[in-house]
Amino acid sequence: MAQQAHWSSKIGFVLSAAGSAIGLGAIWKFPYTAGNNGGAVFFLIFLVFTLLIGLPVLLAEFYVGRKSQRNALDAFGALAPRTPAWKAVGMAGVAACFLLLSFYSVVGGWVLAYVWHAFGGNVYAGADFGELFGKTIAEPLPAVVWQLLFMLITAAVVQNGISQGIERASRYLMPLLFVMFLLLAVRSLTLPGAMAGVSFLLAPDFGKIGSETLLTALGQAFFALSLGVSAMLTYAAYLDNKQDLFRSANSVMWLNMLVSLLAGLVIFPAVFAFGMKPDAGPGLIFIVLPEVFQKIPFGTALFAVFMVLIAFATLTSAFAMLETVVAALIRGNESKRRKTTLLTALAILLVGIPSALSFGVLGEWKIMGKTVFDLWDYLITSWMIPLGALATAAFVGWAQPRETVLAHMREGSSVPEKLLGAWYLALRWLAPAAILLVFWHTLNK
């Protein structure tokens, strides 16, 4: 059954898709990954790889979604009815979204907890932020309660559908996120010694380029756009043929890059201004930044604003993940949306509880040498996402007739033929080669 709902506006789709892409990847993962990999040179390579590899695969997901007008489970089968095996790509994407949200919601719960900490007086000069973070993730009941709250907020938005739920929320959340980030970046840039942080982010030292930096930047570019889990495919299924797919994908990509840049301009100038190290790793936001903000006038209030920003970005990504699963279950029957959304959110929460407990009571329970949280993270990011994106690139670049693909991509778009041809070549050859390289690197770690 074709999708019945549609986005009410072009900008609504772009903001919602950008919200899906941004998430914790741009705001949480990018700064500490850049900090560990040379700063500016990593950012430059990340930019190039996003343009040459991430964008072609993003457009491929847009093609499958809009062309089929189906949910992720049915989209590939609708476009290739004589090859039932392609349906497995959509099934894997839905399963990946389900599992991804089960542990992503745990991190989302941490973010909400830190919003509470910031406004509730637990973030103050002299506090032991390492101990605060340890308690936040280790105490069983609070960890599950914050995860539950995160899933309730996500379900409350998704149950109202595309135009009245996700699009309406993104219309407010995304512009507010950009404005607040700009204000925080201005404040960070006015700190004494802040220019050292700007140089770290924007003045590349090409002597720091190594194979590890290249591969890490490639992986960050690949994952930054929510590729490989059918989320962008699902959003594109609600589009009509008047939407310019190339302009939309370009907007989503650059908005994602802009937020990554702003996150760097908020964090690195402040870190350098106070003599701290940029390579603090995943704890940068939860442990290092609270201390940095305490050294800034009105720092506690500014840190609270910063955590609200991260909460916004985390939720917009969660909307896309939950919508991908819900859309596959209701198959265009919007009358089932509310009940299906709530039941799906509950199922994801239950599956995610062991992940929430992985830093406390289940910390010693290991599978393949990993906690439940780390196992899901590994399986999704190192296996399911690369394979899903590779399969999507192969499907559009090789399994679909060339002229069918190019004709559809021209609809609603005035893209020059040379650019259209370049995209198709990149999708056929460059993107699969790069994805296989990342996959090979993962297998040989």
For the chain, give every domain's residue range: 10-443
Tokens of residue 389, six digits? 């994106």
Say what the pLDDT of residue 221 is.
81
> Distance between CA atoms of 110 and 21, rounded to whole angstroms?
20
Tokens of residue 265, six digits? 């301009």
Say what the pLDDT of residue 216 is.
80
**Exposure letters 237-275 (e unless 16+ CB within 10 A, then b):** bbbeeebbbbebbbbbbebbbbbbbbbbbbbbbbbbbbe
Grouping H, G, I as helix, E, B as strand and the rest as coil, residue 370 is strand
**DSSP-derived secondary structure for 243-267:** S-HHHHHHHHHHHHHHHHHHHHHHH
Helical segments of 70-205, H only: 72-79, 87-120, 129-138, 140-158, 161, 168-189, 195-202
Q: What is the pLDDT along the chain (445 residues), one digit of tens a residue?
A: 444 567 877 888 888 888 888 877 787 788 888 888 889 999 999 999 899 989 999 999 999 999 999 999 999 999 999 999 999 999 999 999 999 999 999 999 999 999 999 999 898 888 899 899 999 999 999 999 999 999 999 999 999 887 777 888 888 888 888 888 888 888 889 888 999 999 999 999 888 887 778 878 887 887 778 888 999 999 999 998 999 999 999 999 999 899 889 989 988 998 888 887 787 666 778 887 888 888 888 888 888 988 888 888 899 899 999 999 999 999 988 899 999 999 999 999 999 999 999 999 999 999 989 999 999 988 887 788 888 989 999 999 999 999 999 999 999 998 999 999 999 999 999 999 988 887 777 677 6
Q: Domain 10-443, what fold?
A: Amino acid/polyamine transporter I (1.20.1740)
What does pTM read for this prediction? 0.91
